[in-house]
Amino acid sequence: MHSDTLKIEVTQSSDITLVFTALRHLAKRSEYSFRALELALSELIENVLEHAYHADETTPIDLHITFELKACQLQITLREFGAPFDFTPYLSESIDQSSDHSKGFYLIYDLVDTFYFTNLGKSGKQFTLVSKLSNCHLELTQQQKEQSARHQKQLEKLQVRGFQEGDESAVSRLIYQNYDYTYYKPLFYEPLLVKEANANGKVLSFLAEIEGEVIGHFALVPRPGTNSGEVAIAVVHPQYKGHGIMSKMFIKLIEHAQSSGFRSLFGEAIMLHPYSQKANLKKGMHESAVVLGLVPGDIEIEHKLKIGQRSGVLLGYRLFTSAHHEMRVPKRYQTQIETTLAQFDITMNRPLPLREVSALTAHKDEELNLITLQIDADLEAETLTQTIEKTMLEQSAMIYADINLHRIEDIDTLVDTLNRHGFFYSGILFDFYHDEDYLRLQKVTSKEIDIDHLVTYSQFAKALLDYIREDKAAIGF
């Protein structure tokens, strides 16, 4: 045990009550009751016993639970050695995020600040719960008391501001502290490139700062050629998580986008956990697409959470203007598209401007090994087939087909051709090119794409992912 850390390990469930009793004694002057953590741990144990031990009642129950109290944060780690079982599908449940959750893993998500699962292979399976103890007055060491008091005073001086020259190194360090060298947007590891991107407007960084120290970063990334932008690269220093810093940066970013004339904002929530999805929903975003394979398999969050396959993102939008062009919707996806559009306040009365368009253009993201086909006008099926066959030779991880929903007369034939080549539903992209809306279809071209273990939070996202899986199965690729 380190001098500033209390660490207790128990192997008997009967000892858990004793540990929480001891914690309450330590925190007798605290407003924190530990009741939420007790309930979360109880729910977790119940799920583990049900799924990892129910098949063979003769197997001895082997649970190791570690309580680690450091300053005003309590981390509980449950490690179990029951029958092999993949818990990741159970991290997504068909529960509306607006309602209270009375059972299951979503109840746990609501009770703690951080919850994640790690499969350790031959070394068992591990769950981690983390709670920040607000208004905490634990009986700490003198060093801890001083550190805690200093921390609270610092938070009172928090400021959120735009990027300034000289911030670039701090931004790169924050990315490293959260992702090591696994983040899938490598530009942010190079301070000079961070500075250049902000200088030329390719990235608009917003920073959280305390007494000259940058402890948070959130970026607005304008999409070239359209009045939409991505909210991205959101990180907070590990020591300052759980204090609403991310939310403050997000609000500042939204205010800037609105005042600057953006039509919309979108976020790509990594589907390894529900936290960024919850944050997007709380800021008025609605979900419209699941994009598979966008996140490389080697990404690692806070040196702990990883899956080893290419993961997906849940695309959410916040629209600042309701006026959109009239859409031509393919019959195959009409019901799903209408369900998606019903979330948004859209009026299709915006005049469609005359402009020269290329029927088909291909873009390749060399860093992520992804290919996108942008389709803006009717074209012969043979031409599309030849382009698909050519892109297949490049051995990319995924191929996306972005179909203009305003300019294609025979959209049903186009979609049918793409379906026959293995493209299935992804979702709607608003204002994606030239302030126009697109239907994205996607084709898996690598064995490393994960579609079975993606985590969703909202009821809509769960239904959307189920629909995508069904469409993929129906197409037969």
CATH number of the domain enclosing 404: 3.40.630.30
Determine contact, residues 293/397, Cβ cutoff 8 Å: yes
Q: Does 255 lie in the same domain as 343?
A: no
Residues 103 and 195 in one domain: no
Predicted local confidence at residue 296, as pLDDT: 72
Q: Give domain status of residue 184, yes or no.
A: yes
Chain-centre distance for alpha carbon 160: 22
Structure pTM? 0.73
- Does 198 lie in the same domain as 112? no
Do residues 119 and 233 share a domain?
A: no
Q: Please indicate, yes or no, if residue 291 is contained in any of the structural domains.
A: no
Q: What token pair was written down for 335?
A: 């019901």
Q: Nearest CA to 198 among 178, 169, 176? A: 169
Q: What 3-state class would DSSP assign to 140?
A: coil
Q: Are residues 413 and 462 in the same domain?
A: yes
Q: Which residue is associated with the tokens 């959280």?
A: 208
pLDDT of residue 139: 52
Domain membership of residue 391 as a residue range: 331-475
Distance CA 126, CA 115 (A): 11
Please give the pLDDT value at position 161: 94
Whole-number Cα distances in Å, 448 to 292, 309, 310, 462: 11, 5, 6, 22
List of the chain residues with pLDDT < 50: 1-3, 29, 93-100, 303
My answer on whether 41 and 82 are in the same domain is yes
Do 115 and 170 belong to one domain? no
Residue 354 and residue 445 in one domain: yes
pLDDT value at residue 98: 44
What are the tens digits of pLDDT across the range 427-477? 999 999 999 999 999 999 988 888 887 888 888 999 999 999 999 999 987
Query: Are 341 and 457 members of one domain?
Result: yes
Structural element, H or E, at residue 177? helix 168-179
pLDDT score of 339: 97
Q: Are residues 177 and 79 in the same domain?
A: no
Lateral strand order in the sheet of 5-10: 5-10, 63-70, 73-80, 125-132, 114-119
pLDDT for 382? 95
Say how many residues make up the chain. Answer: 477
Residue that finishes a domain, picked among 262, 281, 313 = 262
- The number of folded domains in the chain is 3
In this structure, is residue 276 part of a structural domain? no
Q: Quote the CA–CA distance of 87 and 47 in Å, as a whole number.
A: 9
Does 366 map to a domain? yes
CATH assignment of the domain containing 103:
3.30.565.10
What phi, psi does 115 have (nearest 5°)? -145, 125
On whether both 29 and 68 belong to a single domain, the answer is: yes
Per-residue confidence (pLDDT) for residue 222, from 0 to 100: 96
- Say what the pLDDT of residue 42 is: 85
